[in-house]
């Protein structure tokens, strides 16, 4: 994050706070989140979209809470001008506890329960993003039951395949999300929503994938949505007011993956696409919304670990690799094991003049795929007791953490103007035992 620096004696600091002190006071592993950096990124998106779309019909940025949500984070991004996209009753509850007005929340999901839909309606959410024809029925019936009119957005599968890994690409045909444009399901859902008195069609939605570095896919998806909107207007007279282009903007994990687009670049590119597509179609521009998660929270956080066992291993083709075990692993960062995701690591407790050697940072879990950093150069004298920092773990780190091997999940420590504070407490073995009913 932007607040990382080194002290005179070589220790890493976040927001001026020495990570040795943070580790001594809060223990490791810990996620260390730079609050001013998070606020700046959130504000950056709000401002970039506000200005890029000022001459069109305006834009809203929804922070995708699945990347990481806690009450403090929800409050901060809300204070900086973002809305929040939730995808479960749990995320919705956190955003509501933070005091975010329902009108600034959306509810996603491909398999919402009736109770999640009811909670959302009662909270007055601004949009429920409907993912299937069956869900049109579900939302209509819950709306009728509660006597509340449901604002519905329809998630459309546009056929675009984008993003870093098959598991996170979401708009090609053969996957579980959305209403297919090609099969006619999307249009059928539009007509069903327009015909249901308890439903109000507030928008069309597309999310094409995640960790996207090339913005080209957004043009294809946006054009497909805007064409559907124009067709609906021509045949029914209803001009759908809003189009959501999803999230998915990539970040730099190691610096070798290409340059991620900045918020102003994303906003300008999308505004240009929307303006040109609407001009071609001869329809007025809709209000636009987007749902970035990773690009707002990912770079704000590093994971702080303590080194334990260090083991040199001889490689088949000659040479050596140093296996550096840390006190966490796939339970606090599943991404390397699940997606082959790449990270880097740096010695955080001291400076070392030792020569760099080929190293692999591994966790403490009982499988060999428990890798934190696949390949990194670390000083040859890295040893037990050293602190290691793994940057850019703010997105899909804590939010996908598990208790594998009954390892308690680490705290999230926010570093801000008021000092260092746990915004999510670390679990203890006592917490895990409390769940076990014997």
Among 108, 112, 187, 360, which residue interacts with ligand LLP (rule: CB under 6 A)? 108
Q: Is 64 in the site for ligand LLP (CB under 6 A)?
A: yes
Which of 328, 403, 330, 428 is closest to 28 using CA atoms? 328
Which of 368, 343, 345 is closest to 357 using CA atoms? 345
Among 60, 291, 332, 386, which residue interacts with ligand LLP (rule: CB under 6 A)? 291
Write down the least CB distance from residue 315 to ligand LLP, Å: 29
Q: Is 112 in the site for ligand LLP (CB under 6 A)?
A: no
Q: Is 337 in the site for ligand LLP (CB under 6 A)?
A: no
Phi/psi for 142 (5° steps) reads: -65, -40
Give pairs for 269-275: CB < 8 Å, separation 24+.
269/215, 269/218, 270/52, 270/215, 270/218, 270/222, 270/245, 271/52, 271/53, 271/56, 271/59, 273/218, 273/219, 273/222, 273/223, 274/53, 274/56, 274/222, 274/226, 274/243, 275/56
Write down the least CB distance from residue 248 to ligand LLP, Å: 4
* Whether 296 contacts 63, CB under 8 Å: yes
Q: Is 274 in the site for ligand LLP (CB under 6 A)?
A: no
User: Which residue lies nearer to ligand LLP by CB, 297 or 362?
Assistant: 297
- 278 included as an active-site residue: no
Q: Is 41 in the site for ligand LLP (CB under 6 A)?
A: no
Tokens of 112: 């919402």
Among 13, 187, 229, 335, which residue interacts with ligand LLP (rule: CB under 6 A)? 335
Which string of x and - marks every residue 126-165 that binds ligand LLP (by CB under 6 A)?
Answer: ----------------------------------------
Q: Is 426 in the site for ligand LLP (CB under 6 A)?
A: no
User: What is the bridge-based pairing of β-strands 387-391 and 179-180?
Assistant: unpaired
Q: Is 65 in the site for ligand LLP (CB under 6 A)?
A: no
* Whether 209 contacts 170, CB under 8 Å: yes
Write down the least CB distance from residue 11 to ligand LLP, Å: 29
* Whether 350 contacts 388, CB under 8 Å: no
Q: Which of 8, 366, 430, 437 is catalytic?
A: 366
Q: Is 293 in the site for ligand LLP (CB under 6 A)?
A: yes
Phi/psi for 111 (5° steps) reads: -155, 60
User: Which residue lies nearer to ligand LLP by CB, 170 or 344?
Assistant: 170
- Max Cα distance, the chain (Å): 71
Which residues does the annotation place in the binding site? Answer: 248, 291-294, 335, 339, 367, 396
- Provide the binding-site residues for ligand LLP, judged by CB under 6 A: 64, 66-67, 85, 108, 168, 170, 207, 210-211, 246-249, 291-295, 335, 339, 395-396, 400
Q: Which residues are catalytic?
A: 366
């Amino acid at each position: 994050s932007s607040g990382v620096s080194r002290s005179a004696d070589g220790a890493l600091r976040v927001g001026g706070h020495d990570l040795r002190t943070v580790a001594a006071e809060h223990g490791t592993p810990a996620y260390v989140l730079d609050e001013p950096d998070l606020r700046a990124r959130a504000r950056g998106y709000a401002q970039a979209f506000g200005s890029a779309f000022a001459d069109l019909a305006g834009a809203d940025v929804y922070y995708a809470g699945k990347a990481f949500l806690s009450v403090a984070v929800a409050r901060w991004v809300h204070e900086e001008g973002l809305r929040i996209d939730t995808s479960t009753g749990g995320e919705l509850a956190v955003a509501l506890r933070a005091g975010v007005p329902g009108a600034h929340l959306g509810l996603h999901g491909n398999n919402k329960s009736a109770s999640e839909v009811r909670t959302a309606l009662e909270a007055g959410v601004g949009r429920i993003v409907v993912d299937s024809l069956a869900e049109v029925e579900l939302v209509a019936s819950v709306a009728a039951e509660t006597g509340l009119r449901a604002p519905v957005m329809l998630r459309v599968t546009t056929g675009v395949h984008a993003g870093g890994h098959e598991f996170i690409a979401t708009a090609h045909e053969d996957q579980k999300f959305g209403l297919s444009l090609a099969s006619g399901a999307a249009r059928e859902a539009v007509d069903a929503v327009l015909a249901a008195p308890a439903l109000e069609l507030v928008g069309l939605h597309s999310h094409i994938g995640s960790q996207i570095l090339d913005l080209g896919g957004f043009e294809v998806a946006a054009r497909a949505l805007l064409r559907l909107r124009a067709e609906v207007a021509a045949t029914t007279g209803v001009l759908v007011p809003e189009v959501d282009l999803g999230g998915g903007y990539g970040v730099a994990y190691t610096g070798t993956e290409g340059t991620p687009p900045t918020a102003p670049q994303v906003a300008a590119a999308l505004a240009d696409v929307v303006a040109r597509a609407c001009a071609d179609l001869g329809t007025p521009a809709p209000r636009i919304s987007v749902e970035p998660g990773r690009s707002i929270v990912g770079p704000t956080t590093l994971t702080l670990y303590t080194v334990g066992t260090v083991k040199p291993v001889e490689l088949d083709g000659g040479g050596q690799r140093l296996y550096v075990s840390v006190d966490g692993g796939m339970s606090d960062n599943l991404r390397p094991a699940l997606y082959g995701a790449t990270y880097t690591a740096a010695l955080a407790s001291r400076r070392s003049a030792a020569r760099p050697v080929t190293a692999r940072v591994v966790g403490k879990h009982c499988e060999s795929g428990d890798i934190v950093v696949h390949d990194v150069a670390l000083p040859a004298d890295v040893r037990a007791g050293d602190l290691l920092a793994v940057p850019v773990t703010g997105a899909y780190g804590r939010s996908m953490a598990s208790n594998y091997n009954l390892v308690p999940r680490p705290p999230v420590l926010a570093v801000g103007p008021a000092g260092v504070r746990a915004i999510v407490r670390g679990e203890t073995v006592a917490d895990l035992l409390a769940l076990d009913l014997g």
